[in-house]
Amino acid sequence: MVNRELSKAEWLDKCEAYCAKSEHCAADVRRKLYEWQAPADLSDEIVESLYQNDFLNDARFCHAYVHDKVEYQSWGRMKIQAGLRALDLPDSNIREALAAIDESVYIKNLRALIASRKSDPEDKRLRFLAQRGFTYEEISKCSK
């Protein structure tokens, strides 16, 4: 870490650069400030400033998170919802982002996961898909 103390403006600049690279939420920024060993009393002020200057936006973050988890990791709605709730994001933003999931991509992912586990016993396959966040109804609908 840097030997000298950073000013509030320098911490804010560092956080703005962090947020400009990719979407983050307030919990990510607080965690990063802790890792960087920033003074604890600055955390709330910096997060508030990031919200005011649109470096942080809960709705935008939720949409990006949902998109990435569906597209790149083939997660189901339940696991995505749990991940967003763990970040203490507003339920209204979570619901809105989950409602925007491209259903054709979601079903395609689920079918691919089912096909990849076809040789597994049914109970093991169901457990795997449930851990990925898919509901039993979604699994049974796509298994037919």
Nearest-angstrom CA–CA distance, 135 and 130: 6
- For residues 73 and 137, membership in a common domain is answered with yes
Residue 28 has pLDDT above 90, yes or no: yes
Q: How many CB atoms are closer than 10 A to CB 128?
A: 16
Residue 69 sits in the same domain as residue 44 = no
**In-domain check, residue 117:** yes
User: Does one domain contain both 75 and 106?
Assistant: yes
Looking at 40, 56, 72, the residue that finishes a domain is 56
Query: Same domain for 65 and 121?
Result: yes
93 and 46 assigned to the same domain: no
Tell me, yes or no, whether 138 and 77 share the same domain: yes
Note if the pTM is more than 0.75.
Answer: yes
Range of the structural domain that residue 17 is part of: 8-56
67 or 144, which is more confident?
67
Q: What integer is the mean pLDDT of 36-50?
A: 94
